[in-house]
Chain A
C-alpha cells in the first residue's frame, strides 16, 4: 500500500518536472488543458460577430477567435478548442464550477464581477456601451422619448441595471421584460411585445440581422453606459491569467507593429527589436508564460492580429460593418493599448 502511494508521488513529481519549463511557475489550469489536449471555452449561444455557429457548425466571431488564439499559442493548432455555449445567467456559475477554462463571452468588466464573483478580467476586447433599438414606425428619435415604454432585454446582465439607472435618472417610467436567452428576447421584440430592445450597441447591430425586417428598426443615438467587454478566468491561478492576458496583448502588439497573418514569416527577419522580442527571435518570454518561444507567431499565423480579427468578424469584412471607433489602436485615436513585450 505504502509503496504504491510512494510510486504515485514519485511519478507525479517526475511528471510535473518534465512538463514545467525552466521559468514557469506551474499553472494548474494550463497543465489540465495540456492533459485534455484542448481548451474549453465558454461563449455566447449566438451573437453574430462575436460567437455564432455558421452553416457548417463551425463557431465564428471575435470571442471565438480569441479562444482559437489561446489554443494556437498552447498547441500550435487553433482547432484544439471546445466551445461551450452559455447563457448570460449561468456564465459565471459555470466558470466558477470549472466547466470551462476561459469565459470569452462579451462580458462587461465591473467591480462586483471582478471582486465579489471572483473573476479575473484579462483586458478589454471590445469597448462598448448600451443602446436602444426601436421600430421606425414608433417615430422615436431619442431614448428620452421612451417614457412609459416596455423594454425587452436579457436577464442576468449589466443591461438590466443600466436600464433601471437610466430611467430612474431621467424620471421616466418603463416596464422591463427580461428573458433568459437571446433568441427569446429578439423573438418577443420582433412580435411587438416591447417598444424597445436594449443591449450593448454591438449586440444591437448583430441581433438586428435576426429580425424579420431589419431595415424597419433603428438604433437610437444615446449610449447610456460604459461596457468594457472582455474575457475572464477564475481567480486563484495567476499564471493562467497571465497566459490568457498576454495572448490578447500579443494580438494588439502585433497590430501595432504591423505583424499580420500574411507577413508574419517575413517579419521573423525584421531588424526591429520590438518585433524580434514579440516573435521570440530575441528573449525567452514565451517560456516564461509556460509556452514556447514562438507563441506569438503561432497566434498571428493561425488567427491574426487584433485588427484582422476585428475587421473579419464585426468590421468591414462582415455584415455588421462596425467602425473601429473606440476600438482603434491608441496610435490611431482609439483606446486599445497593450503593454510592451520586454
Chain B
C-alpha cells in the first residue's frame, strides 16, 4: 500500500484558492474604504452639507414639462419624480418609434427593390456614424429654424397648432358618464381578445385560417360608440387658443422633446436595422424555400416563418439598444428638455451642492430602469426562444 502523497497545507490547491479569494476581497474592500474615507474627510474639511434631508426642502424653481402636479413650492423629492417621469416618457416613445423604424429599415435593406435597399442602407450608414449629441443639436436647431413664431403658427382646423413653442393639441376632458364609455370599451376589448384566441385555437387544430381583423375592430369600436351615444357623448376638448405670448390650453409637445425623440429614435433605429438584418439573414435559406414551397406569399413568409425565427437572434442585442436609448436620453440637458439629469443631477445638484448623494440617486434610478428593461426583455426572449421537445 502506497503512502498517500503528503502536501504541505499551504501548498494545497484549496487553501491557496481560498487565500487568493480572501486577499482579493480584502483588497476591494480596502479600496472602497479608502474612497469612502476620502470623500467623508473632504466633505467635513470643506463643510459641505450631507445627508438626504434636502429631498424635503423647497426647490423654488419651475420645470417646463411635468407629468405630475408641480410648482415652485414643491420639494426636491418631487423634482426627482418629475425628472424620472420625463425621462421615462422620452424613453418609452423613443423605444416604440425606434423599434418600428428599425424593423422597417432592417427589412428594407433586404428588399429586392434596388432603390428601397439603397435608401435603407444609406440611412443606416449616415445615422449610425454621426455622434448622437450632434444629431440632437441638428434636429433641435433645424426644428426651431423651420417653425414659425406663435403669431404665424401653422394651424389645422383651429384646433391643432404648430410653432416654435411646440405642437399644440386639443386635450380631451372627461365629463360625467365617461366611466360607462370606458367600461363598454373594456368589455369590447376583452371580447376581442377571446375572439382572437379562439381563432388561433381553431387554426392550430384544423389549419383553417379565418380572418379576425374585422370582428375584433368592430368589438373595440362599436360598444364604446354605442355607450357614448347613450350617455350623450360625455367628453369635451380643451382647445389651445392664442392669448398673449403663447397658446394656452390643450396639450403641448415641446420642440425640445420632439427633437430629442426624433434624434434618439433615428439613431437607435439605425442600430436596430442592422440587428434585424443580421437576424433575418441568420435564418437558414432552406426556411424561405420551404415557405415558398408551401405556397405562402411574401408577407406570410416574413410574418409566419422568417421573423419568428429571426426574433431569437434579434431580441438579446435589441435589449442593449433599448438600454442605450434610455441612457442616451440623458443628453437631453443640452437642449433644455427637463429630464432626470437636467432637473435633478443638474439644477438640484447646483442648488444644493450635494454631488455625492444626488449622483448616487441618479445612478440608482438609471440602474433600476435598465435592470427592469432587461428583466422584461429576458422574459420575452424566453417566450420566443426555441422550444425543444
Report how far A148 CA is from B241 CA in the complex, Å: 13
A246 shortest CB reach to chain B, Å: 21
* CB neighbours of A93 from chain B (8 A): 349-350, 353, 355
Report how far A116 CA is from B60 CA in the complex, Å: 16
* CB neighbours of A118 from chain B (8 A): 43, 46-49, 353
Give which listed residue, B46, B49, B144, contacts A192 with CB less than 8 A.
B144
Give which listed residue, B45, B145, B244, B338, contacts A147 with CB less than 8 A.
B244
Interface assignment of B157: CB less than 8 Å from any CB of chain A: no
* CB neighbours of B45 from chain A (8 A): 235-236
B149 nearest in chain A by CB position: A192
Interface assignment of A11: CB less than 8 Å from any CB of chain B: no
Max chain A CB contacts within 10 Å: which of B49, B62, B64, B255?
A: B62
Are B334 and A193 in contact, CB atoms less than 8 angstroms apart? no
B301 shortest CB reach to chain A, Å: 48
Q: Which of A135-163 contact B (CB under 8 A)?
A: 138, 146-150, 152, 155-157, 160-161, 163
B45 nearest in chain A by CB position: A236
Interface assignment of A113: CB less than 8 Å from any CB of chain B: yes
A181 nearest in chain B by CB position: B334
Give which listed residue, A112, A152, A192, A235, contacts B351 with CB less than 8 A.
A112
Report how far A192 CA is from B163 CA in the complex, Å: 10
Are B349 and A156 in contact, CB atoms less than 8 angstroms apart? yes
Q: A164-B60, A179-B334, A192-B149 are in contact. Are A88 and B353 (CB under 8 A)?
A: no
Q: Which of B46-69 contact A (CB under 8 A)?
A: 46-49, 60-64
Are B64 and A175 in contact, CB atoms less than 8 angstroms apart? yes
Q: A89-B350, A156-B349, A192-B144 are in contact. Are A180 and B42 (CB under 8 A)?
A: no
Are B245 and A149 in contact, CB atoms less than 8 angstroms apart? yes
Interface assignment of B243: CB less than 8 Å from any CB of chain A: yes
Are B165 and A96 in contact, CB atoms less than 8 angstroms apart? no
Report how far A188 CA is from B64 CA in the complex, Å: 15
A301 shortest CB reach to chain B, Å: 34
Q: Which of B133-183 contact A (CB under 8 A)?
A: 141, 144-145, 149, 164-165
Sample of 10 A–B contacts (CB below 8 Å): A91-B350, A92-B353, A96-B42, A96-B353, A112-B353, A118-B49, A163-B61, A174-B62, A195-B246, A234-B46
7 smallest CB-CB distances across A and B, nearest first, come from A117-B353, A156-B350, A148-B244, A118-B48, A116-B49, A236-B45, A118-B46
A interface residues, Cβ below 8 angstroms from B:
88-93, 96, 112-113, 115-118, 138, 146-150, 152, 155-157, 160-161, 163-165, 167-168, 174-181, 184, 187-188, 191-193, 195, 234-236
